[in-house]
Copies of this chain bind each other. A is one copy, B any other.
Amino acid sequence: MKRHKILMSTPTELSDRTMGAMARQVMARTDPEFLALYRQTTEKLQRIMHTRRDVVIMHGEAILGLEAALFCLMEEGTQCLVLISGSFGDGNLDWVQMYGGQPVEVRVPYNAAIDPADVERALRANPGIKLMFVVHCETLSGTLNPVRELCTLASQYGVVSVVDSVTGVGSVEARVDEWHMDVCCAGSQKCFNAPPGLALLSVSDAAWEMMRKRKRPVRWSYMSLLDWKESWLDKGVFPYTPSMTDVYGLSAALDQVLEEGIDDVLARHSYTARVCRAGMRGMGLELWPASDAIAAASATVARVPEGIDGPALVRRMDEGYGVIAQTGPKALRDQSLLGLSHMGRSADPMRIVVGLAALEKSLSDLGFGNRLGSGVGAALEAM
């Protein structure tokens, strides 16, 4: 049967308004109309990220922003504190090693959150640390790290912090200036419902300073944040032609976030997450995060029950009911995870109903023995 696929993983679906905004003609990159639209777009980001600092849009997937931050800030031999509570944290570690940095690790299990006390110990023990990498929301595990405390600590120790908040900003509070996040990277195609293809970064003066003080500052490169600072922010000239259509889409998507109101958007995410947790528990599943207190607002992750094959469950949801669920981190060999992501427009309880229905029906199809309707019923109860 022909099905309209329902994404409960990423990228998140665009609204018709955003799609309509992207059906727009390109312009000269010097066109005053485009320059104004571009500036307004970064101003909207500043409001959403609670920052008055520079915001840079890089023209590639979110991962370009994270790599560029590391590439521009770190040098051969820089001592870096890497906080690891999930697969993205482990990825940061790989990158630091690849680019020749000296990593200091703070690590917890994939279902837990980093403890600021551990970080303080590490900072005290390693006064040479210059940079700290932390993941705000470990999407695949459905967990959050206490970014506020972690970045404040880093700042107290004079350490520049780089925060991967790709699925954080827009689903949970993220106050860049107050929380002392030096570089904070948000993602267009996650909680903002904008198209993939843009990396969104706030950059503090301390971070610009560190980039400029590198032996050979990264300039005139697709990976250069400084080019955007010195060419676009300082002189209003683009280093190259931006991905215009994606910028149109981002701009329209941010309007929708701001019209709804940032606080209301966050409340909607957290409410939806609560309903989703109730539904998953209602059908007899055990949630993965060690506690609800560290559960993400952008994705809810459960353990695949013993006796059920994780990949088969995901496949069944897709092929049988058109719902694309989120799989767990590959590194977790002994425990299969399954998530329903609820970012942006998907952070809607009635949409969660669809995900839960597909999940409980698929579990039943694979012999889990659950009573049909118990998941959705519990979710409706929680509304």
Contacts and interface: CB of A to CB of B under 8 A. Distances in A.
Interface of A: 1-7, 9-17, 19-31, 59-64, 67-68, 94-95, 98, 189, 195-197, 220-223, 240-246, 249, 260, 264-265, 267-268, 271, 282, 321-324, 345, 348-351, 353-354, 357-358, 360-361, 364, 371-378, 380-381, 383
Given A354-B354, A376-B377, A5 B20 contact: no
B353 A271 contact: no
Contacts of A27: 5, 7
A10 B350 CA distance: 19
* Most chain B CB atoms below 10 A, which of A25, A271, A351, A383: A25
Contact of A350 (B60, B67, B323): B323
26 contacts: A1-B267, A1-B271, A6-B350, A11-B26, A11-B28, A11-B29, A12-B26, A16-B25, A19-B23, A19-B24, A22-B245, A26-B189, A59-B60, A60-B64, A68-B222, A98-B220, A195-B244, A196-B245, A246-B246, A282-B373, A321-B349, A321-B350, A353-B354, A371-B377, A373-B373, A374-B377
A98 B223 CA distance: 14
B24 A16 contact: yes
B357 A243 contact: no
B383 A361 contact: yes
A44 B92 CA distance: 36
Nearest to A243: B197
B26 A196 contact: yes
A194 to B, nearest CB: 10
A285 to B, nearest CB: 15
B322 A350 contact: yes
Nearest to A16: B25
A19 B228 CA distance: 28
Contact of A67 (B95, B221, B383): B221
B197 A59 contact: yes
A11 B243 CA distance: 10
Nearest to A21: B20
A278 B76 CA distance: 57
A348 B243 contact: no
A196 B378 contact: no
Contacts of A4: 15, 345, 348, 351
A338 B369 CA distance: 34
Contacts of A345: 4
A377 B268 CA distance: 26
A11 B107 CA distance: 47
B26 A63 contact: no
Contacts of A267: 1
A319 to B, nearest CB: 11
Given A264-B2, A380-B361, A23 B16 contact: yes
7 interchain residue pairs of minimum CB distance: A373-B377, A197-B243, A373-B373, A20-B23, A16-B25, A20-B20, A372-B377
